Every structure is written in structure tokens, then in C-alpha cells.
Amino acid sequence: MDTILFLVIVGFIHISFYFFNTIFVSCMHLPYLVLLENIGIDIQFLRIKWFTTAFNRSLMKWGLNRSKFWAAWFNTGMIVTLLLLPISIILLLKMTFEAFMKENSVDPNEIGSGETIEIMIPGVTIPFSEMGYYIIALLLSSSVHEFGHAMAAVKEDVRFLGTGMIIFFILPVAYVNICDSGLSMLGHKSRLRILCAGIWHNVILTGLAMMIAGLITILLKPFFIQNTGNSGLLGPVGLSNGDVVHKINDCSVHDSTSWRYCIQQAIQFSTPGYCVNDNIVRKSDKSSFLQNDANDMHHCCDKHYKNNGHLCFEHLGIIDMQAPHSSSVNFCLPIRAIISSSHSYCQSNDHCSMASDYCVKPTVTNSTKVVQIQRYGGKDVIFHGNPLEIYYTIELSDWVPRYSFFSPQLPEALILLCKYVALFSSGIAIVNVIPCFFFDGQHIISILIDQRLKNAVKEQSIRSVIAFVVMTVFSILLIGNVFIILLNKL
């Protein structure tokens, strides 16, 4: 599905929900509002909000158990988050400096090439085919972030009101509702532990995702065989889903890297010749009069034989003029039969080990090749065309399932999901700790300034102004970076 079409469909669904919600509120005012309240749904324009208290008891039970463990856990999270704060500030300043230098550069080729903001704004550029991974990773990362706040609030005995999720157009974001008055009554360290808990959990999730991605080979070894050239392409005479490719022409395939190398070899070099017994060549020859086209290509097969899998072959050697049918150096031969009966590849008759062999080579254009794809447990696939089509139409996997109910795409899907989770979770952690408005860093920096400047600056209002100025400066820097990156991508 096209990206624009997908976004149009999502927008239409949102508008439909909003339209019918408006009608139902007007026509069935009280019953409909009671239903929405019981479900916890709030529908607004291009936004759907869901809230529930169903998880409150479980979260309170987890948070109150093992209090010593949670105390050490959230204290560690506070320390890690405070160490991450200067790192995120340095990254933001570095991006600002690089963006400023790029704006002053006159080289037009560099416009739009910057990718430094990608980790801080997940999904600025992602393939549409990976949108599902994007949404799952973003929802998981935000859920883990809010789960950290909720657990820390329960540990600090702050009233926990509930959990929910907001869908902004296509972006799902989890959230928790904590009593603000209870939070404001806590001491500095207790508030910091709650505020830092979400970032701390994102750091942990990032580490877990990276660890799982690195150990996926070991974890899935009982269920998959790796580095065997597994592919998928539907077609009655082509490759099938789950086929194991081991050779392309004379190039061995072991994994996705060697697959790409073999495709490159097939593109760069001409189609090889085939050593075939001379009796097979003579018996299979269906050649008619020889024609040359505008490109000086030989055509010795009529339309009937072309449609039945024949191709004009050129003999790469000296013909025995005493033998029948040997006066021509071109033969109309069935491609599959010739390749199947071939002893080896060749570029001339000298490369054939048997004296009775002919070295015959398909007469094709420079961009058109004959490619032999060998697979385990099935007939070879003979491809006639541009090898680039093989690269773009065949989905390759380095994994072969040991059991039929496993998909060969499962390991790559898990690795890709782990990479997205690590990217988005780290991005959420870095962004949230920056001292900007509406982020966790806003409250963290306010507490730090109020606590550290208490002796130097006696007036709390002045300390609040200092915190406001700091947050304003970094908010402007972040918004400016986002604006520049988005402008360059247009």
C-alpha cells in the first residue's frame, strides 16, 4: 500500500469516528456518554484516548512487594538519569553547532544529508513496509517508560489513578495518571526517583533489546539453521517460500552477503557457456535460418520454439565439418535440458574436459543473462532476463526453519523489532531528560536548580525564573534542530 493512501485511510477513519461520535453525543446524550465513560474512551479530532483502572491493583501489588529491591532499583535509576542529563545536553548542543555550520555551508549537495537527529526523533525516515515495527516499538517504549513512573509512584506512596493510551493520528503513546498534589508534597529525592524512573526503564529496555538482538543466533539455534541462503518467491516454475539456495551459476551462496555477491557477479560478467555432449546438442537442435537483429544478435529459433523454452546458443570452439548439422556455429536448444545435462561451465571448448563436448553459450544481450539458481530438494531455477530482477523480487533469509510451522522471516523480524525498540527507547530516554517544556527534564531541572541554588539564591521565585530561562533556551534549541532537519528532508 502506498504511504499517502495509508495516511488518507487512517485520516478517514479518524474523521469517521469523530463525526459519528459528535452525532451520538447529540442524539443519545446520556446513554452514549455513560457508555464512553465505562469503556474509558474519549474521541477527539484525529485523537483517540483510552483510560482504565484495570491494572491499578496489579501495579500496586508489584510496587509494594520487595520494597528493598525497588528502593535500590529506583535509586540506581535516579543516578543513571542524572548522569544522562549532561550527555543529552552535549548532544543537543553538538547538533545545534553542526546544524549552524551546515546552514553556513554553500555546498548544495550536503542539504538533507544530516541524520544526527534520527536517534532523538524516532521515525523521521523509515520504510513504509516497516511501519508495523515502528508502531509496536514506539508503543512498547512508551509503555515501559510510563510503567517506570507508575511503579516508582506506588513505591513512594503517591496515589496512582490509572493507565491509558492516546493515539495521535497513527502514533500510539502510553501514559499514566498520578496524583499531582501527592507528588508535590514529596521531598526532592522522592520526586526525582519518580521522574527519573521512566527514563531509567527506557535505558534498561534499550540494553535488553540490544542484548536480545546480539543473542538471537544462540536463542533460535534449536529452531533454525543459519547461513544457508533461504529465499522466497512465489511461482510454479520459480523459487518457493522456504527454498534453500546454495548456488547461482558457479558462485556458492552461504548467506545474504554471498547472495548479493553472486548476483553482482551475474550482472557484471557475461552468461557462461555450458559443456554438453555433442550428441545431445545435435539431437536437441531445432535451429532454422540465422537472422541478425539491429543489435547484431543472432536468432536461430523460430517463435514456436522460443515460446517452448528454446534459446539460440553459439558454439565456442572448432566445428567438425564432417559431422552432420555441424556447418553452423549456432543451435536452437532447450535451455533447461542443456543446462541440466551440462558437465561444467566454460568460455571455450578448451575448458571442457571431455573431447566429445561442445561449449555452447546462449546468445543474449549484455543486460540479459541466463542465470542458473540451484537449490536443495528441488529442480534448478533457470532465469532468463536482467539479474537485477532476481535481487529485487526475491526475499532472502539467512535462516531456515527446522520445523515447518516456523516462518523463515521470524528471526529477521525479531532482530528488526529489537533494533527499533533499542532506537526508540534510547531516543525517548535522551529526549525526555533534556530540560525542555513538557518533558521529564522540565521537572528534573527545576528540582535540581531549586535544591542546588537554595543557599546561593534565597528567593524561590528567582530560582524558578532561572529554571524557566534554562528550559526556554533548551526548548528553542530542540525545536530549532527539529525544524532544520524537517526542512532539509523536504
Q: Distance between CA atoms of 167 and 200, rounded to whole angstroms?
A: 24
- Same structural domain for residues 165 and 236? no
| Average pLDDT score over residue span 242-253 | 84
Q: Distance between CA atoms of 128 and 117, rounded to whole angstroms?
A: 19
pLDDT score, position 379: 84
pLDDT score, position 126: 59
- Same structural domain for residues 183 and 247? no
| Average pLDDT score over residue span 257-286 | 88
CA-wise closest residue to 121 among 444, 479, 490: 479
Residue 463 lies in a domain: no
- Which pTM does this prediction carry? 0.69
Domain around 184: 52-102+118-219+413-432
Residue 226 lies in a domain: no
- Same structural domain for residues 154 and 179? yes
Residue 420 lies in a domain: yes
* Number of structural domains found in the chain: 3
pLDDT score, position 197: 95
Residue 475 lies in a domain: no
- Same structural domain for residues 264 and 196? no
Residue 441 lies in a domain: no
Please state, for a pLDDT cut of 90, what percent of the chain lies above it. 27
- Same structural domain for residues 191 and 138? yes
Q: Distance between CA atoms of 92 and 80, rounded to whole angstroms?
A: 18
Q: Distance between CA atoms of 354 and 341, rounded to whole angstroms?
A: 13
Residue 203 lies in a domain: yes
Q: Which is it for the CA torsion 180, 181, 187, 188, positive or negative?
A: positive
- Same structural domain for residues 395 and 421? no
- Same structural domain for residues 59 and 38? no
Residue 113 lies in a domain: no
- Say which residue, 65 or 71, is predicted with more confidence: 71
- Same structural domain for residues 244 and 122? no
Taking 80 as the threshold, does the pLDDT of residue 323 lie above it? no
- Same structural domain for residues 337 and 418? no
pLDDT score, position 2: 63
- Same structural domain for residues 164 and 283? no
- Same structural domain for residues 197 and 237? no
Residue 471 lies in a domain: no
- Same structural domain for residues 7 and 91? no
Report the range of poorest mean pLDDT among 157-166, 305-314, 479-488: 479-488
Q: Distance between CA atoms of 332 and 309, rounded to whole angstroms?
A: 10
Report the range of poorest mean pLDDT among 31-35, 164-168, 389-393: 389-393
Taking 80 as the threshold, does the pLDDT of residue 395 lie above it? no
